[in-house]
Chains A and B, each alone.
Chain A
Amino acid sequence: EPEVTQTPSHQVTQMGQEVILRCVPISNHLYFYWYRQILGQKVEFLVSFYNNEISEKSEIFDDQFSVERPDGSNFTLKIRSTKLEDSAMYFCASRDILGNQPQHFGDGTRLSIL
């Protein structure tokens, strides 16, 4: 079964540094999402992306965040200047354009800010 893949599985970064989290969505999917889960808390929506532009973003997704689909397969989340509170699990998800299909999640990237 096709999968959403995320790299790296664990990223450790110094506060203030830029970090890029990478995702390869399922190949025929056209809707892409990033979610965040702070340890012990619920999963929160960050941003959705379709047709090479952001379709919706949450209050969490401020100016330090950006998303990009640099080529036909990758979907990236960039955090420009990381803060301690950015430490979390980041999940990428993708969805088929046909009907109301469920989102398929990657295994997540654990981001640790020191």
Chain B
Amino acid sequence: AQTVTQSQPEMSVQEAETVTLSCTYDTSENNYYLFWYKQPPSRQMILVIRQEAYKQQNATENRFSVNFQKAAKSFSLKISDSQLGDTAMYFCAFMTEGGFQKLVFGTGTRLLVSP
């Protein structure tokens, strides 16, 4: 079974600075997908970024980028130029390739962006 670990329960960053959220996972699969979801206080689940394991290039979406280290089974999220609206819970999630592909989530990191 796959597991996802987020070792940082809480992080703080000042507006306009950069912050990195950590995620590690465990799997015996070779092909899979990794995601970061954002959950603001409204508790919606918003997809931030995705990474396919077979792609060596790290995914980027505007201010959000990942550092994907397949051998180390590490998948960190970097938020550049942090904004107040980035304040939220961030969940790392794993999905296998094929099948019906449920998401396996980590326990989340609460990010607080302060002025």
Q: Chain A residues in contact with chain B, CB under 8 A?
A: 31, 33, 35, 37, 41-45, 48, 50, 55-56, 89, 91, 93, 95, 100, 102-105, 107-108, 110
Contact = CB atoms under 8 A, between A and B. Distances in A.
A100 B33 contact: yes
A45 B52 contact: no
Interface stretch (B38-46, B66-74, B78-86): B38-46
Contacts of A102: 33, 35, 47, 50, 95
- Main secondary structure on chain A at its contact with chain B? strand
A43 B42 CA distance: 15
B76 interface: no
Which residue of B46, B102, B107 has the most chain A CB atoms within 10 A of its CB atom?
A: B102
B104 interface: yes
B107 A41 contact: yes
B101 A31 contact: yes
Contacts, number: 60
A42 B91 contact: yes
A23 B90 CA distance: 24
Contacts of B103: 33, 35, 43, 45, 93, 103
A37 B108 CA distance: 12
20 contacts: A31-B101, A33-B102, A35-B103, A42-B106, A43-B93, A43-B103, A43-B105, A45-B103, A48-B102, A100-B52, A100-B95, A100-B101, A102-B35, A102-B47, A102-B50, A102-B95, A105-B45, A105-B47, A108-B43, A108-B44
A38 B46 CA distance: 18
Nearest to B103: A103
A5 to B, nearest CB: 12
B105 to A, nearest CB: 4
Given A100-B97, A102-B35, A56 B102 contact: yes
Closest 7 CB pairs of A and B: A105-B45, A55-B100, A45-B102, A43-B105, A48-B100, A42-B107, A42-B105
Nearest to A57: B102
Most buried by A among B37, B43, B47, B97: B43
